[in-house]
Structures are given as structure tokens and as C-alpha cells.
Amino acid sequence: MADPKGFLKITERELPAHRPVDVRIQDWREVYEDFDRGTVTKQASRCMDCGIPFCHNGCPLGNLIPEWNSLVHGHDWAEAIERLHATNNFPEFTGRLCPAPCESACVLGIDQPAVTIKNVEVSIIDRAWEEGWVKPLPPAVRTGKTVAVVGSGPAGLAAAQQLTRAGHDVTVYERADRIGGLLRYGIPEFKMEKRHIDRRIAQMTAEGTTFRTGVDIGTDITAERLRADHDAVVLTGGATAWRDLPVPGRELAGVHQAMEYLPQANRVQFGDYDRAPLNAEGKHVIVIGGGDTGADCVGTAHRQGAASVTQLEIMPKPPATRPDSQPWPTMPMLYKVTSAHEEGGKRIYSVNTLEFLGDGEGNVRALKLVEVRRTDKGFEPVEGTEREIPADLVTLAMGFVGPQKEGMIEQLGVDLDGRGNVVRDADYRTSVEGVYCAGDMGRGQSLIVWAIAEGRSAAAGVDRFLTGAGSDLPVAIAPTARPLV
């Protein structure tokens, strides 16, 4: 146990401060100040090592949280990363980007602030990289079996690393020009610097994983050819079909999908552009959608020098504290102030977009909205509340409706569920022999932690299929499992 009285001695959560807003919006680096390791150790000592650690259940990866809290408290960081890597291939991704359902399930959180689990996690892996403890782990024996992983987001990377380490010859096919999926092109640098992905790709390459970018399966290589050339296929192509907003004026220049806008800003950081062609500089920016993607648009627009940034959300403003309807240990839907929101802008809740208005030359100039009230039948407009707000750039961050069907999925003919996602059984097998599926492509739009958990679990299924025997690879989560919400 970390410290039997730790939670009595230290009752407050302490987390890294964010760099001052006026400084950080001048650059794209991560927003955090450096954090003292002594404070992390003290925070880890608050863990009560509960008899039933609900945090394990809250974390889709089943991370062994009390074990590494105890090791950090005991200054054994090298052993802590061993325990962390036992369940999570990429703690530097989750430690930065996870909404931390584990903390919502922390027993201490019932009547005190929860343990800072996510920050302990990222501190362990950051130190491990600094100390040189993270090394390639190539397999001792190769099986001669070949696996194609389609898509290089967190699900594909986790599946590929597990299967390579099990001795199979794994090739990751990615249609984009760089590896990483949404980690690379969706999530901005200020949330996670891309050097963290590059370092993992170097490790995976040294372990024997092959990466092929610029290859669209279904176009450049047919699905049939892919199956013929490999003993197994893992589909990890994500939920890339975005939700649109078919209102009058949608066709106007200046109205774009978030995933048209964000990748360009990321590409500037990689040196592909000097300046993003879709740019918020000097513009009144409207972001439609109140989730993570919307917040990423807000932070990006601030850094590009927007004249104003307004985020619209159709749902009512969530409560600041856990409501009775979402009791512990569920993950409640709460009002969140992300780093992007600290940087400015305005958030308007309970509004719907009626129309985009043009300037007569094909460009958007304003957005017409109306306040809405939620009823049993859906959202109803509130009479007399229509108004216009100026808009030079609008980004649609309203989520994704599932995987792209044309191309690979159609060619494979895998069964889809009622929501259009790829159906998997308990072993992550699709309806087509030798074809498996993990991450957003099967689960629908979700989270990085789920993608890694599913990638790891699908790898175990593939390994069993290839060897015809049991697999030593761990299963993190069943495909039907849902978070505690």
C-alpha cells in the first residue's frame, strides 16, 4: 500500500499548472508546466489500495492503478513502468488524453477529491522514456504467420505491437501519409506533441513491425488481395464518416468539417505548410459541437489569432458536480473547462443552427441560431429567440456516424450492426473468416483508452486463430463492454 495514512495527511489534489495563457497561445507546445516528481510521489501516496479497486473497473484497460501508485510512493519508478506497461502499450497517450473514467470510480472520490491517477500514469511513462527504460521488445521466436493491420490509430498500433511481440510478421497499412490516425491529424500538438507518437513508431519498427503509409486498402490494394497475402487481417480504420449539418447555406465557403480544419493546423507543425490554408486569423469563428473535437477547434483558432471564438452546443449546460442520476462510480457528464476554454471564447448552450447566411459572394458571413428546449419529442425551438451571430469560419464538430463503408468494408462484405459499425464476436472476429476488428470501426466513435484496450484484446483473438492454441496475450476488454455511464 502506498501509505496507510496518505489520504488523511494529503487531502488536496495537486496537478501540473498550465503555462500562462498569453504565453502558450503564442506556440503549439503542450500546455503544462514541468511538474515536480516529489509532488507526484505525495499524490500517489493518497491511494488507499482498496480491497476492491473500482478504478480497475473504471479503466477500460484494467490498469493496475494501486500497484503503480504504491511503487511510485516507494520510489520504485522502474518497476512502476513494468506494471503500467503490463496493461497499457501507450501510457503517454492515455496519460495526456484520457478523460480518466478511473478517477470517477476512485473510492477516495466518494468524499474527497479522487487520486490524480492520470497524472501519476503520465509521470511514470515520461520518466521511463527519460531514463531509457523503454526499450524495443522483439520476439524471441517468429511464427512465420503474417498479419495485416489496416489503420494506424491507437487501436491499430496496440494490435500491431501485441502481435509483433507474439512473433507474427505484422504490416500496418495506413492511407494517410503519416502514422497515428486521429492522434496524428485530429488531436492538436498543444494536447499531445507528436514526438510521443514518433518515439513509439521507432520502438515498434525496432521490434519488427512494418509500416506502409499512403496505402488505401480497398483502392490501392483490394480487400481480396490483402486477405490472400496475409494469414489474418485486423480492421482498425476508425469511425471516419463525419456527421454533417444539412441546413440552408451549408455549401458556403468558410463552413467546414472539424476534420478538414484540424489536420491542416497539425500539418503546419510538421512543416507541410507555412500557414494553414483554412485559417482562423482575424476571423469570427463558430465551432458547432461541445465535445473534445470542438474544444480542439477552439484552442487551434486561438493560436491562429481568431477575432472571436464561439462554441455552440444543442444540449443544456451540464452540471458542475455529480448529479444524483449519475452516482459514483459512474463517469458523470460534467461541465468541463478544458485548457482551450481557459484561453478564451464563449460557450452557448441549448441552441440549434437554423441557417448559414452568405455575403452575396458565396462566403459565410453569419449564422442564424435559435434557443431550444429539450422535450420528450426532442429539441423544440423557443419562440422569439432567433438571432444572428457573425461567422467568417464555421467548424462542424458534431461527431462521427461510423466507419466509411465504400472501399474496404464493402469489398470484404463484413456484417454491420444497426449503427453501421463492424460486428465482432467475443474474440473480435468479424463475420468474415480471418478478419478481426477493433477500435472505433467496431465500437463507433469513442476514446483512445478503448481503442488501445480493444486493439490489445483483438490481438489475443488473432493470436489464438493463428496458432490454433491458447494465447499468452492478455484480453483487456470484451467487445460488448461499455463504460460505467
Ligand X SMILES: Cc1cc2nc3c(=O)[nH]c(=O)nc-3n(C[C@H](O)[C@H](O)[C@H](O)COP(=O)(O)OP(=O)(O)OC[C@H]3O[C@@H](n4cnc5c(N)ncnc54)[C@H](O)[C@@H]3O)c2cc1C
Binding site residues, ligand X, CB under 6 A: 97-98, 150-156, 173-176, 181-182, 186-187, 191, 216-218, 236-238, 240, 262, 292-293, 296, 407-408, 439-441, 446-449, 451
Give the start-end residues of each E strand in 19-103: none
Angle at 296 between CA 25 and CA 150, to 5 degrees: 130
Q: Which residue, 58 or 188, is less far from ligand SF4 as judged by CB?
A: 58
Q: Which stretch binds ligand SF4 (CB under 6 A): 66-74, 94-102, 280-288, 428-436?
A: 94-102
Q: Does 94 bind ligand SF4 (CB under 6 A)?
A: yes
- Binding at 312: pick from ligand X, ligand SF4, none (beta carbon under 5-8 Å per type): none
Q: From the CB of 420, what's the least distance to ligand X, in Å? A: 14
Smallest gap from Cβ 232 to ligand X, in A, equals: 16
The entry of ligand X, ligand SF4, none that residue 451 binds, CB within 5 to 8 Å by partner kind: ligand X
List all residues 6 or more positions away from 325 whose beta carbon is below 8 Å from its beta carbon. none
Q: Which amino acid is at 260?
A: E
Write down the least CB distance from residue 294 to ligand X, Å.
Answer: 9
217 binds, among ligand X, ligand SF4, none (CB under 5 to 8 A by kind): ligand X
φ and ψ at residue 8, rounded to 5 degrees: -85, -35
Q: How many CB atoms lie within 10 A of CB 445?
A: 20
Report how far apart, in Å, the C-alpha atoms of 13 and of each of 71, 114, 117, 118, 204 are. Answer: 19, 7, 10, 12, 35
Beta strands in 179-224 (DSSP E): 210-213
**Under the criterion CB under 6 A, does residue 109 sit at the interface with ligand SF4?**
no
Provide, rounded to whole angstroms, the least separation between the CB of residue 88 and ligand SF4: 6
The listed partner (ligand X, ligand SF4, none) that binds 114, CB under 5 to 8 Å by sort, is: none
Report how many residues bind ligand SF4 under the rule CB under 6 A.
14
Q: Which of 218, 217, 211 is nearest to 152 (CA)?
A: 211
Choose the stretch contacting ligand SF4; rule: CB under 6 A; options: 99-107, 138-146, 170-178, 247-255: 99-107
Could you say which of ligand X, ligand SF4, none residue 65 binds, taking C-beta under 5 to 8 angstroms by partner kind? ligand SF4
The C-alpha atoms of residue 348 and residue 369 are separated, in whole angstroms, by 11
- Asked if residues 49 and 41 have their Cβ atoms less than 8 Å apart, the reply is no
151: partner contacted, choices ligand X, ligand SF4, none (Cβ within 5-8 A by kind)? ligand X
Spatial CB neighbours of 123, under 8 Å, sequence gap ≥ 6: 35, 37, 40, 72, 95
Tell me which of ligand X, ligand SF4, none is bound by residue 351, counting a contact when its beta carbon lies within the kind-specific cut-off of 5 to 8 angstroms: none
Classify 219 in phi/psi space as left (phi over 0), alpha (psi -120 to 50) or beta.
Answer: alpha
Q: Taking the complex as a whole, how short is the minimal distance between the CB of residue 254 and ligand SF4, in angstroms?
A: 36
The DSSP bridge partners found for residue 335 are none
Side chain identity, residue 133: W
Q: Which of 72, 276, 449, 460 binds ligand SF4 (CB under 6 A)?
A: 449
140 exposed, middle or buried (CB, 10 Å; 0-12, 13-18, 19+)?
Answer: exposed
Shortest CB 397 distance to ligand X, Å: 7
- Which of 115/172 has CB closer to ligand SF4? 115
DSSP lists the bridge partners of residue 372 as 381
C-alpha 112/C-alpha 326 separation (Å) is 17
Q: Does 309 bind ligand SF4 (CB under 6 A)?
A: no
Does position 343 interact with ligand SF4 (CB under 6 A)? The reply is no
If binding is defined by CB under 6 A, does position 106 make contact with ligand SF4? no
Residues 120-149 that bind ligand SF4 (CB under 6 A): 121
- Beta-strand runs (E) in 31-184: 146-150, 169-174
Which triple of cell numbers denotes residue 444?
Answer: 463507433
Nearest to 441 by CA among 233, 266, 291: 233
From ligand X, ligand SF4, none, which one binds at residue 292 (CB under 5 to 8 Å depending on kind)? ligand X
Please tell me whether residue 80 binds ligand SF4 under the rule CB under 6 A.
Answer: no
Contact string (CB under 6 A) for ligand SF4, positions 32-61, x = contact:
--------------------------xx-x
* Percent of the chain that is helix, strand, coil (3-state, to 5): 35, 15, 50
- CB under 5 to 8 A by kind: which of ligand X, ligand SF4, none does 408 bind? ligand X
What's the closest the beta carbon of residue 161 comes to ligand SF4, in angstroms?
A: 16
Centroid of chain to Cα 37: 26
> In terms of Cα–Cα distance, which of 448, 395, 190 is closest to 299?
190
The nearest distance, CB 331 to ligand SF4, in angstroms, is: 9
Taking the complex as a whole, the smallest distance from the CB of residue 384 to ligand X amounts, in Å, to: 35
Q: Which does 121 bind (CB under 5 to 8 A by kind): ligand SF4, ligand X, none?
A: ligand SF4
Is residue 369 close enough to count as binding ligand SF4 by CB under 6 A? no
Dihedral over alpha carbons 277, 279, 285, 289 (to 10 degrees): 60
Among 40, 64, 72, 98, indicate the residue that binds ligand SF4 (CB under 6 A): 98
Task: Please report whether residue 398 would count as binding ligand SF4 according to CB under 6 A.
Answer: no
Provide the binding-site residues for ligand SF4, judged by CB under 6 A: 58-59, 61, 63, 65, 94, 98, 100-102, 117-118, 121, 449
